[in-house]
Structure 1
Amino acid sequence: MNSPAADIVRLLTVRGETLAVAESLTGGLVAAEVTTVPGASKAFRGAVTAYATELKHRLLGVDITLLEQHGAVNPQVAAEMAAGVRKALGADWGIATTGVAGPDEQDGQPVGTVFVALDGPFRPDSGSAGGGKVEALRLNGSRAEIRMESVRSVLALLREELAGEHGGNERAQDTEQNGGF
């Protein structure tokens, strides 16, 4: 069975589409996972590791008021990171991670609070609403385990979206996709 990253690269390559990644708590691990796949350069545009909160605004266009009022560990921040990296790097798809890996809470959020997001193209022909999706996670374990599960979760979110549009075998099918948040 292929890894989620291998499936993503294969699906994107078949479609002639590209991916950009915005990372916070995962610190580059998502990009590293994608680029382990041979041929990733056909689909992977690049990544922004915006670990510092102000970089989420400056590099990814996350609303400064949102960051000031709610902090970086927030579902809307994740959504804006995914949309921002997609725009900044000129990709068809953007995915993002933000959260608290520990050892201490952040922005009033407990360790293990993670948000993963994707932003993709509108597809009227496939029934997909396009746009963004955000998934809230409550993870347990060590800092390393929380970070690795965040990588797995954001890749699974994108793989499900891509495979859902093609039934996992590149054949389009009439499947209603969940759009919005």
Structure 2
Amino acid sequence: MAKAGEDRAKAIIDNLANRQMTIATAESCTGGLLAVALTDVPGASAAYYGSYITYANSAKSKMIRVPARLIRDYGAVSNQVARAMADGARNAARVDFAVSVTGVAGPDGGTDKKPVGLVYVAVSSELATVVIEHKFGTLSRSEIRRKSVDAALELVWQVLTSSEGD
């Protein structure tokens, strides 16, 4: 992870710990890299609950209760599934925030409608769930995964700093 990502992860952990709030992660294409970014921060346990690495579609349904019909109707890489993953992780873990990542990291698996580099990131809170679509293009698998982690950290930060007055 780049220095900016490390700084963002530390800022997230510090912000949550200061507010006595918690976060969980639900990851598909990143396979745990987002959890690594957050747990690389010393003292992360003050705010970080844990991760659901739901790489298989059945894991999404079994572990964090993503409705199988959403996966069937929209595909695992979709706004709807990213939202359900974040909401499901927040509810399963009983935390204040949850962030999810689902996408096509490649080099295979892309289609015309869902090309390699398409990633959805979602953050769920009590107030709302925000989903952002990213199109990273034809980068390497590791670059897409790294950019996905950076995008997830950035969205968490935006949600945290927009909700501080609550």
**Structure 2 residue runs without a partner (length 5+):** none
Structure number with higher helix proportion: 2
Aligned 8 A contact 2:27 2:54 in 1 = yes
Measured after TM superposition, the shift of residue 120 of structure 1 is: 0.6
Letter in structure 2 aligned against 1:115: Y
What aligned pairs does 1:31-50 form with structure 2 within 5 A after superposition?
Answer: 31-50=35-54
RMSD: 1.6
Measured after TM superposition, the shift of residue 105 of structure 1 is: 2.7
Query: Does the alignment pair 1:11 with 2:1?
Result: no
Distance in 1 between residues matched to 2:110 and 2:74, nearest whole Å: 11
Measured after TM superposition, the shift of residue 144 of structure 1 is: 0.4
Distance in 2 between residues matched to 1:113 and 1:105, nearest whole Å: 11
Q: Report Cα offsets for 1:50-89 as digits up to 9, x if no partner.
A: 0001111111111111111221000010011001011111
Aligned 8 A contact 1:118 1:158 in 2 = yes
Distance in 1 between residues matched to 2:128 and 2:162, nearest whole Å: 15
Q: Which residue in the other structure is 1:136 paired with?
A: 133
Q: Which residue in the other structure is 2:33 paired with?
A: 29
Measured after TM superposition, the shift of residue 164 of structure 1 is: 2.5
Aligned 8 A contact 2:100 2:152 in 1 = yes
Measured after TM superposition, the shift of residue 106 of structure 1 is: 4.5
SS in 2 for 1:149: helix
Task: Say how many residue pairs are matched.
Answer: 160
Q: Which residue in the other structure is 1:98 paired with?
A: 102
SS in 2 for 1:3: helix
Letter in structure 2 aligned against 1:145: E
Measured after TM superposition, the shift of residue 165 of structure 1 is: 3.1
Distance in 1 between residues matched to 2:67 and 2:77, nearest whole Å: 13
Distance in 2 between residues matched to 1:87 and 1:106, nearest whole Å: 31
TM-score, normalised relative to structure 2: 0.91
Distance in 2 between residues matched to 1:5 and 1:78, nearest whole Å: 20
Query: Does the alignment pair 1:116 with 2:114?
Result: no
Aligned 8 A contact 1:73 1:106 in 2 = no
TM-score, normalised relative to structure 1: 0.84
Identical counterparts, % of pairs: 39
Q: Which of the two has higher C-alpha Rg?
A: 1
